[in-house]
Amino acid sequence: LFLPVADDYRSLSRKVLAAFEWTARSVAFKYLLKTDDDAFVCGARLISLLAPLPRLGLYLGALTANKTVVTSRASPSYERWSDPEYVRIFGSAVYAPYMQGAGYVLSADLVSLAARHPPGPQPLDRSVAQRWPSRPRCTTRPSCPSCRRLKTRSSGDSSRPA
């Protein structure tokens, strides 16, 4: 999938939201898994995890709550993670709860909703959490123990377990 979006870190939110737009418009689906390209997904575990969960309003992943917005130039994280626009737009120095880490799952209705809202300035995971006016059901589940044992080789070959 080639999208008309810059391929750099600061454009990642726009890139993912453009992929959401394309998916919502072009594919019949129940859930969408957004994951990092270096993550291993245990498909069988994911399917069994999703089976009993609701088909609407689902936002599944590793929940981060009460994360303070980096606004101070004195912070060592300022250059990479500064987000003064978030405070200006949303009037809060604390991010809304969001999923972070190697990936998250959204139900089709939330993908469509996210695709209809313009991208914000904040980093990707926080950006997706701000797409809907009312908060979806945030769900955190433990990862698959057998999948957690799989580690990739340090050489970068992610096709074989270590």
Burial group, residue 5, by CB count within 10 angstroms (0-12, 13-18, 19+): middle
Q: State the pTM of this model.
A: 0.70
Residue 25, pLDDT > 70, answer yes
pLDDT, position 72: 87
Higher pLDDT, 11 or 56: 56
Q: Which residues contact 103 (CB under 8 A, 6 or more apart)?
A: 33, 34, 35, 36, 39, 41, 61
In the 3-class helix/strand/coil scheme, how is 72-90 assigned residue by residue? CCCCCCHHHHCCHHHHHHH
pLDDT confidence of 136, banded at 50, 70, 90? low
pLDDT, position 134: 53
Q: How far apart, in whole angstroms, are the C-alpha atoms of residue 108 and residue 113?
A: 9
Higher pLDDT, 130 or 101: 101
The whole-number average pLDDT for the span 90-103 is 83
Q: Tell the residue number behind the tokens 């995971």, with chain if given.
A: 125
User: What mean pLDDT value characterizes the chain?
Assistant: 75
What are the backbone dihedrals phi and psi of residue 23, each rounded to the nearest 5 degrees, phi first?
-60, -45
Identify the sign of the CA torsion 17, 19, 25, 27. Answer: negative
